[in-house]
Structure 1
């Protein structure tokens, strides 16, 4: 299994000299099995370059799994060149929105209405399909299986477990470790805390021992507890601790804050190492555009 990062920033693209080393595009990960089956995770601005790279071999087929439909995870899709080419086949997977009662196709098509984009979804030339997923659904993509699990974000967000070639890879999308909404002295505190513990145990058991995890950690611990609680993203220590509980040896931190320079990101990782936040035997690195992991 080959995993390549095409977008690793969160919230909004942040191109420029201060982000050139790790990259300024928003979320997109390209996964290719040993049999050549292609799975794309999210369609942030990084998917534009991925699409250009894919045009060397036509016609093509790929499956795009959307963790959630916040703009930084779908805004590159109108610029994904394979969608405009007859003979290509693109299958989309993601969640139904239970708040606004919209399926995946409706949500993705709306960002291509004329008030936002000059070409409508129904004018695309590739053959497209859309599948709304529920938690626990497993999709077969050639030699790979992709299974969804619900994580914690202010919209329905699926993490995806990809299993192929005897390897297991997990991507969280955007995820915040749940915190108890009650105070310890509140009557409801213990019951709610038990629900949190049960849910965390379920997720950890689901991904325990995967070969590699790509996990959201947009904030430092200080930033998070100052004013980011409830925004739907992890901080470095919480994400590393989560991976440690799941006994995962290879951890790539992603969704880098758009205001964070590459130098600042380097400084954070040096500090994490100095303070002993990275467990022995675990490799933790920042996700980097155009870097490929071979599992």
Structure 2
């Protein structure tokens, strides 16, 4: 199984001379099984370049799993060239939005209305299908299996476990450690703390021992505690600890803050190392656009 990063930036694209090393495109990950099954996780701006590369292997048959429909995870889809070519087959998978009562097709189609884009969804030439997933549902894509789990974000967000060729890979999408809304002296605090712990343990058990985790950590701990709590993203220490508890040997931090330069990311990684926050038995690196990992 091969995992290639086509977009590792969070919130909004950040192109320019200060983001060349890690990349400025928003979230998109390509997963290939040894049999050639193509799974794409999220459709941020990184999916545009992936689409151009796929023109070398027409017809394209791919399965795109959307963690959630915040703009930085879907904004590249109107520029995904395989959607415009007859003979291609594109299968979309994602959750139903219970707040706005919209399925994935309704949300993605709305993004391509004329007021936002010059070509509507019904003008696309590829064969397109949409699949609404329920939590813990397993989907077989050729020789691969994809299973989702609900994680913590202001909109419903699925993390995806991809299993193929005897290997296991997990992508969180956007995820924040759950917060207890009750003060410690509130009678509901302990009950809610127990619910958080149960949910946390459920997630740890789900991802335990995977070969690679790609995990959201947009903030430093100081930034998070100052004014980013509740925004739906982890910080470096919380994400590394989550991977450590699950016994995961290889970690790639993603969803880099758009204001973060290459130099700043390098400095943060070095600081984590100097402070002894990178476990000796774990390979912890920051995800870089264009890099492929083979499991």
Alignment TM-score > 0.5, same fold = yes
**Alignment pair present for 1:168 and 2:164:** no
**Matching of residues 59-138 of structure 1 within 5 Å:** 59-138=59-138
Instruction: Name the SS of the counterpart of 1:213 in structure 2.
Output: strand
Deviation at 1:107? 0.2
Q: 1: distance between equivalents of 2:179 and 2:79? A: 37
Aligned length: 295
Q: What are structure 1's unaligned runs of at least 5 residues?
A: none
Q: 1: distance between equivalents of 2:54 and 2:290? A: 14
Deviation at 1:183? 1.1
Q: 2: distance between equivalents of 1:91 and 1:179? A: 35
Instruction: Name the SS of the counterpart of 1:190 in structure 2.
Output: helix
Q: Corresponding residue for 1:159?
A: 159
**Alignment pair present for 1:274 and 2:292:** no
Q: Which runs of 4+ in 1 moved over 3 A?
A: none
Instruction: Name the SS of the counterpart of 1:18 in structure 2.
Output: helix
**Alignment pair present for 1:145 and 2:164:** no
Q: 1: distance between equivalents of 2:23 and 2:262? A: 9
Instruction: Name the SS of the counterpart of 2:257 in structure 1.
Output: coil
Q: 2: distance between equivalents of 1:74 and 1:179? A: 27
Q: Corresponding residue for 1:216?
A: 216
Instruction: Name the SS of the counterpart of 1:56 in structure 2.
Output: helix
Instruction: Name the SS of the counterpart of 1:40 in structure 2.
Output: strand
Q: Corresponding residue for 1:225?
A: 225
**Matching of residues 182-193 of structure 1 within 5 Å:** 182-193=182-193
Deviation at 1:73? 0.1
Deviation at 1:280? 1.5
Instruction: Name the SS of the counterpart of 1:271 in structure 2.
Output: helix
Instruction: Name the SS of the counterpart of 1:55 in structure 2.
Output: helix
Q: 1: distance between equivalents of 2:170 and 2:215? A: 8
Instruction: Name the SS of the counterpart of 1:192 in structure 2.
Output: helix
Q: 1: distance between equivalents of 2:180 and 2:276? A: 27
Q: Corresponding residue for 2:30?
A: 30
**Alignment pair present for 1:289 and 2:289:** yes
Q: Corresponding residue for 2:5?
A: 5
Computed over aligned residues only, the root mean square deviation of the Cα atoms, in angstroms, reads: 0.4
Q: 2: distance between equivalents of 1:46 and 1:274? A: 32
**Matching of residues 238-277 of structure 1 within 5 Å:** 238-277=238-277
Q: 2: distance between equivalents of 1:180 and 1:237? A: 19
Deviation at 1:279? 1.0
User: Over residues 178-229 of structure 1, what are the superposed CA-to-partner deviations in whole Å (9 max), with x where a residue is unaligned?
Assistant: 1211111110000000000000000000010000000000000000000000
In the superposition, the TM-score normalised over structure 2's length comes to 1.00
Q: 1: distance between equivalents of 2:179 and 2:240? A: 17
Q: 2: distance between equivalents of 1:144 and 1:34? A: 9
Q: 1: distance between equivalents of 2:134 and 2:154? A: 17
Q: 1: distance between equivalents of 2:182 and 2:103? A: 33
